[in-house]
Amino acid sequence: MTTIDLHRLTGAYALHALSDEENASFERHLADCETCAQETAELSATAARLGLAVATTPAPALRERVLRRITTVRQETPGASTRALPRHAGLKARLLSRWALTACLAAAAALGGTTVWQHHRAEDARTQADQASRTSEEIAAVLAAPDASTLGARLTDGATGTVVVSRSRDRAVFVVSGMARPPGGKVYQLWFDDDGTMRSAGLMDPDRADQAVLMQGGVDRASGMGITVEPDGGSKQPTTTPIALMPLPA
């Protein structure tokens, strides 16, 4: 593995995505490369903040519910699912299945509009979950990109922010910790600074003090980023003085 290859492993090392051999080689490289050591430390800190930003606390009753199910669910004997059922048992199973299907259809017809409404809500939840999963994967890809670079800064009210940029992926991630809640009816909006012209890069969640945001749109030739307080839903152009301005890492 060449020195150039090792320089590109900082993001993967920070996310523990290297093989044992690559990990050992990179750690030997870190001892002699101050630049990689600093970048690895920054990416590791960002990854840790990202974990805190996207983590959710499980319901208190989850542990008890799982343990209770363990004691009541019978474990299937290995190979049992591959044994053929007797003919009469198979017939009985098919009749029961048809009865169950008929009952389900009847129940669905009785529920009518309520069932349709619940279906739409389930579809909406599934769509949101899929979108969140894709966003998380893209955030991880930016952090692990060979050319990922970071820059941190102190924000207002003691908050800290870190922007991670991958020019090869043309994407940026903003990770913030300790952000104060915006005023009622307001939201924090992110912006790319394109040589003095501010371009919207999406909204932050007003209910979360710690979060990671995949900035919308490509980095392109943006030289910096900013944060403003805008009306709920965001604005096409900044309407207030930025509460923070940061250059993007090279």
Strand, helix or coil for residue 223: coil
What whole-number distance in Å separates Cα of residue 12 and Cα of residue 72? 42
The predicted-structure confidence for 153-203, as pLDDT tens digits, reads as follows 888 888 888 899 999 999 999 988 888 999 999 999 999 999 889 999 999
pLDDT for 96: 47
Strand, helix or coil for residue 202: strand
The predicted-structure confidence for 112-125, as pLDDT tens digits, reads as follows 555 554 555 556 65
Q: Among all chains, which residue has been given the structure tokens 């300790």?
A: 178
Q: What is the pTM of this model?
A: 0.56
- Among 108-112, 130-134, 149-153, 189-193, name the one with the lowest average pLDDT: 108-112
Is the per-residue pLDDT at 248 higher than 60? Answer: yes
The predicted-structure confidence for 67-108, as pLDDT tens digits, reads as follows 666 566 555 555 554 454 455 455 445 544 554 545 554 555
Structure tokens at 54: 């996207």
